């Protein structure tokens, strides 16, 4: 029996109480060449262990004698099924003033706390271990089942697969789409990655260009009818698409209602890239440097370099991808040059910032590049004391607003929906969101040099006060955070 444990620097062990758990541990340690002494009060069991060439002695682990017998051992594992006996054993060992490393078996959280208070270095609960093992087996089984179902669906594609990202795809959406495309290629299925909006954010453009990921703008497709399978990947924050959707893979519940043949939505995951990495592994795809780099960056971007909502699954996926990724390219993606337009918007947003508590709202004025608002909101989130930012600007007779938050107490997507959902369109989730608000009564007004400032003041007052109210703070009068 192999428990997958290797301890190289310790050689002397003692096991007190040798039931089925203790025997399994003893067998593994002996197989690794360790010197193991077993103490148990059942004489027939001790005799049986000796017949198997194990060093076993008869003693009651509840008595001081047992502690004396193992006094020279580096590690003592107290593994009897009787927790009260285990408590007494820990007490006696600690009363010897030794520095032995003690592992003790509990039966529940209460007995676990008691064993820790008595001096056990590590407490294990077999029920919890079995539950964890069962959950891991269940997750593995579900992944294998889902991968088989996904493969069957992809292989039924007779023409092409359309992999639809977010409207304005971010790194997680792009990377996840690239991973699904790699799986499709692995299954000899032709595919296109399609996006419906704009690729405006400089970092995202650099991401796509440096990795050579081929994305097609929806309007550039002459005809989508030759794509007989449609997959939405990390698409939940975007508006509904008028398509028959076959596949949905995401780490957020979609707001739109689809009836796909295949669904894998895991809100407990921090990124869709993490989910797709698991599929890459399950399909045993020979992951390319480009896809590995994309997925690693997708995970890092979604978790703010593992500082936000990071799960063990994210870390495991990142560890798998790390050796295959191009880290020079990652560095280039993370530090793209900033366009003059973005600098102008950022400067305007800094100058016009209004900070109330930890919330910052700013008017960037009339903008040409709407994606610059997203970058400004992200940059302003780095200001000391600021946990939530919202930057808005005017383009094409519409107010565009981008918001970011690292405050775990609020959901910025819900805040924008509450503030502007009845008068405009909003999208997003707990940490990032956007809104598009028609100018309404201002639409059609010609903005001249003379009217520009008044126009901006009116729109700023309406947008800012509504947003601060939705945030639960009183709109401020200052423009520089003072």
As a whole number, mean pLDDT of residues 214-236 equals 83
Query: What pLDDT does 205 receive?
Result: 76
Nearest 5°: the CA angle 198, 201, 206 is: 110
Query: What pLDDT does 478 receive?
Result: 45
Q: What is the pLDDT of residues 133-175, one digit of tens each?
A: 787 778 888 899 999 999 999 999 999 999 999 888 889 999 9
**For residues 83 and 106, is the Cβ–Cβ distance under 8 A?**
yes
As a whole number, mean pLDDT of residues 176-198 equals 93
Query: What pLDDT does 477 receive?
Result: 45
Q: What is the pLDDT of residues 393-449, one digit of tens each?
A: 988 778 899 999 988 888 898 999 999 988 888 887 778 888 998 876 455 555 555
Query: What pLDDT does 208 receive?
Result: 85
Query: What pLDDT does 8 receive?
Result: 45
Q: In the chain, pLDDT over 90 holds for what percent of residues?
A: 46
With a cut of 50, say whether residue 481 has pLDDT above it.
Answer: no
With a cut of 80, say whether residue 222 has pLDDT above it.
Answer: no
Query: What pLDDT does 37 receive?
Result: 95
Q: List the one residue out of 399, 406, 408, 409 whose CA is nearest residue 467.
A: 399
**For residues 193 and 213, is the Cβ–Cβ distance under 8 A?**
yes
Tell me the average pLDDT of the chain: 85
pTM beyond 0.75: the answer is: no
d(CA 21, CA 152): 42
In order of their start, the domains of the chain are 12-124 (3.40.50.720), 142-334 (3.90.1640.10), 340-471 (3.10.310.30)
d(CA 399, CA 436): 6
């Amino acid at each position: 029996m192999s428990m997958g444990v290797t301890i190289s620097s310790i050689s002397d062990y003692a096991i007190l109480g040798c039931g089925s758990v203790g025997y399994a541990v003893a067998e593994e340690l002996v197989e690794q060449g360790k010197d193991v002494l077993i103490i148990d009060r059942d004489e027939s069991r001790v005799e049986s262990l000796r017949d198997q060439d194990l060093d076993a002695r008869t003693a009651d682990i509840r008595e001081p004698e047992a502690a004396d017998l193992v006094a020279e051992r580096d590690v003592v594992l107290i593994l009897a099924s009787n927790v009260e006996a285990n408590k007494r054993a820990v007490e006696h060992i600690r009363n010897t003033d030794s520095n032995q490393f003690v592992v003790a078996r509990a039966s529940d959280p209460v007995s676990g706390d008691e064993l820790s208070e008595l001096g056990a270095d590590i407490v294990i609960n077999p029920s919890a271990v079995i539950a964890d093992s069962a959950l891991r087996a269940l997750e593995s089984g579900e992944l294998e089942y889902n991968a088989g179902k996904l493969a069957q669906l992809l292989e039924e594609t007779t023409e092409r697969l359309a992999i639809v990202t977010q409207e304005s795809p971010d790194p997680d959406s792009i990377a996840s789409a690239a991973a699904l495309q790699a799986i499709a290629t692995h299954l000899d299925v032709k595919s296109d990655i399609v996006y419906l909006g704009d690729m405006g954010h400089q970092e995202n453009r650099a991401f796509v260009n440096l990795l050579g990921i081929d994305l097609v703008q929806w309007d550039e497709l002459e005809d989508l009818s030759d794509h007989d399978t449609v997959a939405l990947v990390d698409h939940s924050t975007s508006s509904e698409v008028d398509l028959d959707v076959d596949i949905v893979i995401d780490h957020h519940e979609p707001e739109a209602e689809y009836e796909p043949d295949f669904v894998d939505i895991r809100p407990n995951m921090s990124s869709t890239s993490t989910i797709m990495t698991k599929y890459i592994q399950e399909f045993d795809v020979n992951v390319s440097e480009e896809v590995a780099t994309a997925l690693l960056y997708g995970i890092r971007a979604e978790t703010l370099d593992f500082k936000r909502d990071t799960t063990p699954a994210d870390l495991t996926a990142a560890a798998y991808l790390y050796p295959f990724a191009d880290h020079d390219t990652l560095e280039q993606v993370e530090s793209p040059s900033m366009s003059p337009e973005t600098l102008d918007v950022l400067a305007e947003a800094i100058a016009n910032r209004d900070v109330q508590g930890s919330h910052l709202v700013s008017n960037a004025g009339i903008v040409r590049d709407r994606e610059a608002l997203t970058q400004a909101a992200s940059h302003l989130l780095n200001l000391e004391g600021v946990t939530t930012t919202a930057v808005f600007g005017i383009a094409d007779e519409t107010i565009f607003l981008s918001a970011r938050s690292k405050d775990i107490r609020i959901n910025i997507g819900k805040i924008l929906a509450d503030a502007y959902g009845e008068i405009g369109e909003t999208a997003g989730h707990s940490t990032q969101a956007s809104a598009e608000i028609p100018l309404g009564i201002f639409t059609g007004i010609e903005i001249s040099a003379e009217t520009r400032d008044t126009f901006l003041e009116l729109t700023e007052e309406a947008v800012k006060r509504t947003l601060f109210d939705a945030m639960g703070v009183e709109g401020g009068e200052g423009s520089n955070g003072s």
